[in-house]
Amino acid sequence: MATLATLETLAYNILREEQDSSAYPLTFVDTLLNSAQSRICRGTVINPMNGQAVRKGKLSFLDTSAFYSNVNVTTLSADAVIGGNTLSADTTNYPSSGAIYVNGDIITYTGKTSTQFTGVTGIQFAHLAGSQVSIIFSLPTNYSSLTNITYANSFKLTPKLYDDIWEDLNGVKGQFRTDAQGYRSRATIDPFYTIIGDYFLIFNRNNTGDQIHVRYEKKPTTMALNTDTATIPDEDAPVIAYLAI
């Protein structure tokens, strides 16, 4: 892959200047190179000949996957107060630290016992005992945008707002099923998800261990050291320098 040093050299060759005596400092050129790479990967490149945006299309080198294992929802066993640092619930299937979702609150925790989440932050509203607690997963650090999600190798998930699914469920008489945990759902409604900030939240399924396959596009790596490589493949990387300049 093309390194930052290679792209720097190409950039100064285009400028027809030497790095040490150029009117364009090295740090400025590095910023331009990273900015150009980011614009290419985001698909916001402007054709300088006509001023029109160039459509990105599919960039296969950005495609990657992440896998998650679902956890049954649990419920609060005691009321939660605003700003509290613990939450009472059965934490059996939950990781030792992470994030959970309760009635609109994204709550992080740093530890747990069998009956409590500890080191809790983010309780912005009071929550009554019996409120549902759902696991939310941290998106990968290189996450840029979603391609698709498959649940348990059978459902291709489409995004849907929680309020919309609730209206669908309440608007139908009959046709409901009750799973082993006692949760009611309409049999014809597929599971769905939402992405909130840096988190991914799965709804409408309640089976521990079910695999969630998230396909997404990576965001380009920021090049800082001369040995750092461009995200764009070697054969196409020179366009970064041309676009930057």
Query: What ranges do the domains of the chain cover?
Result: 4-46+224-244, 72-135
Each of the 245 residues of the chain gets a pLDDT tens digit; together they read 799 999 999 999 999 988 888 889 999 999 999 999 888 888 766 666 677 766 666 788 899 999 999 988 899 999 999 999 999 999 999 999 999 999 888 999 999 999 999 999 999 989 999 888 999 999 999 998 888 899 888 778 888 776 776 666 555 544 445 555 554 444 456 678 888 889 999 887 778 888 999 999 998 989 999 999 999 988 888 889 988 88
227 SS3 class: coil
Residue 174 has a pLDDT of 46
Residue 55 has a pLDDT of 63
Residue 117 makes CB contacts below 8 A (sequence gap 6+) with: 86, 87, 89, 91, 94, 100, 107, 109, 111
Residue 171 has a pLDDT of 57
Burial class of residue 64 in the structure, from the number of CB atoms within 10 Å of its CB (0-12 exposed, 13-18 middle, 19+ buried)? middle
Residue 162 has a pLDDT of 65
Residue 183 has a pLDDT of 46
Helix or strand (DSSP H, E) at 29? helix 26-42
Please state the length of the chain. Answer: 245
Residue 175 has a pLDDT of 47
Name the residue with tokens 């364009």. 24
pTM: 0.74
Interhelix angle 4-15/26-42, rounded to 10 degrees, is 110
